[in-house]
Structure 1
Amino acid sequence: MHKHFTTLLKVVGFLTASIAFAQTGNIGVNTANPGSTIDINGSLAANYTAVNTTPYNLTATDFYVSYNGISNAVFNLPSAISGIGNFKGRIYTIKNNTNFTITVNPASSESINGNTNLSVPENQSVQLISTGLAGASSTWEIVSLGTSLTANNGLTALGGQMKLGGTLSQATDIATAGNNLSINGTGKVLVGTNIVPTGAANAKFIIDNGTTNGALQIKDGSQQLGYVLTSDANGLATWSSTVTTAFANNWTAYTGTLVNPFTGPTGGGGLATGISVTIPAKGWYFFRSGLAINSDCNDYAFYINGIGDVWRSYCGSNTAAFMFPRDQNRVLYFATPGNYAILAGKTNGIVPVSFNGGNPVFYLDFVKFQN
Structure 2
Amino acid sequence: MSKNFTKVWQSIALLSSCIAFAQTGNIGVNTPNPGSTMDINGSVAAKYNAVTSTNYNLTATDFHVSYNGTSNAVFNLPSAISGVGNFKGRMYTIKNNTNFTITVNSAAPETINGNASVLVPANQSIQVINTGLTGANPTWEIMPLGSSITASNGLTLSGTDVRLGGTLSQPTNIATAGNNLSINGTGKVLVGTNTVPTGASNAKIVIDNGTTSGALQIKDGTQQLGYVLTSDANGLATWSSTTTTAFANSWTSYTGTLVNPFTASPGGLLQTGISVTIPAKGWYFFRCGVTIQSNCNDYGFYIDGVGEIWRTYCNVADVQMMSPRDQNRVLYFSTPGTYSVVAVKTNATVPTGFNIGNPAFYLDFVKFQN
Tell whether the structures are fold-level matches, with TM greater than 0.5.
Answer: no
Task: Indicate the TM-score class for this superposition, using the shorter chain for normalisation.
Answer: 0.3 to 0.5
Q: Give the TM-score taking structure 1 as reference length.
A: 0.41
TM-score calculated relative to the size of structure 2: 0.41
